């Protein structure tokens, strides 16, 4: 797989700052995962598992998917070390090819901003969900202070909601849940959580 800046940073990805931010994300996501004990969850762009490996007690199974093999190596080491029996990893990039997978819940935490074609990945994830399934996106709100050739500068709520509806989702609840200093390319920023139902 052509990549990857994340391969180079995998071993030093889990900094204090990222772990703190992940805690905030975990709290927001957990609130949306009540009554999910029997559900399968794909954490797409899982990285080192900072978010989903804290959710193994609230869902039935977790598949951590990432296009960086090195990030997954770190995640796998945590799974083995902590003895998490319901989590596995998969090295894949759904923008390149889509395996025959189905899930009840798909989570994307700080990943959509790294994927150039938003509409296409939303459609792919929609197709992968079971009927009634849930897509949870955590990402940054639109931030005009940021300008980077490979990263979206966040997302405007209305625009993203329209894209989710176009992909086929019946409904989307979206809210900004956190404001932080220097959290998005060294700029102050806010984060949203969007929950869409197929």
Ligand X SMILES: C[S@@+](CC[C@H](N)C(=O)[O-])C[C@H]1O[C@@H](n2cnc3c(N)ncnc32)[C@H](O)[C@@H]1O
* Contact residues for ligand X, defined by CB under 6 A: 6, 22, 25, 45-47, 50-51, 66-68, 71, 93, 95, 109-111, 114-115
CB of 45 to ligand X, least distance (A): 3
DSSP 75-107: HHHHHHHHT-TTEEEEE--TTT---S--EEEEE
Residue (of 76, 83, 81, 82) closest to 47 by Cα position: 76
> Residue 125 or residue 174: which is nearer to ligand X going by CB?
125
What CA–CA distance (Å, rounded) separates 3 from 171? 34
Cβ 6 to ligand X shortest distance, Å: 4
Assign 191 to helix, strand or coil.
Answer: strand
Instruction: Supply the DSSP symbol for 60.
Output: S
Give me the least distance between CB of 172 and ligand X, in Å please: 20
Q: How far is the CB of 158 from ligand X (least distance, A)?
A: 24
Nearest residue relative to ligand X (C-beta): 47
Nearest alpha-carbon partner for 98 in 123, 72, 70: 123
């Amino acid at each position: 797989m052509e990549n990857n800046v994340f391969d180079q940073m995998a071993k030093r990805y889990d900094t204090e700052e990222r772990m703190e931010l992940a805690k905030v994300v975990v709290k927001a996501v957990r609130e949306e995962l009540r009554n999910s004990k029997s559900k399968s969850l794909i954490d797409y762009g899982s990285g080192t598992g900072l978010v989903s490996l804290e959710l193994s007690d609230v869902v039935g199974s977790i598949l951590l998917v990432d296009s960086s093999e090195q990030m997954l190596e770190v995640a796998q080491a945590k799974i083995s070390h902590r003895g998490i029996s319901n989590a596995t990893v998969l090295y894949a990039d759904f923008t390149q090819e889509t395996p025959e997978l189905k899930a009840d819940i798909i989570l994307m935490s700080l990943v959509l901003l790294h994927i150039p074609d938003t509409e296409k990945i939303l459609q792919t994830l929609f197709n992968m969900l079971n009927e009634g399934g849930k897509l949870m996106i955590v990402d940054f709100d639109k931030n005009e202070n940021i300008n980077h050739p490979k990263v979206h500068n966040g997302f405007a709520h209305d625009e993203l909601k329209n894209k989710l509806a176009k992909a086929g989702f019946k409904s989307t609840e979206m809210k900004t849940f956190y404001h932080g200093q220097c959290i998005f390319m060294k700029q102050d920023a806010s984060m949203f959580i969007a929950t869409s139902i197929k």
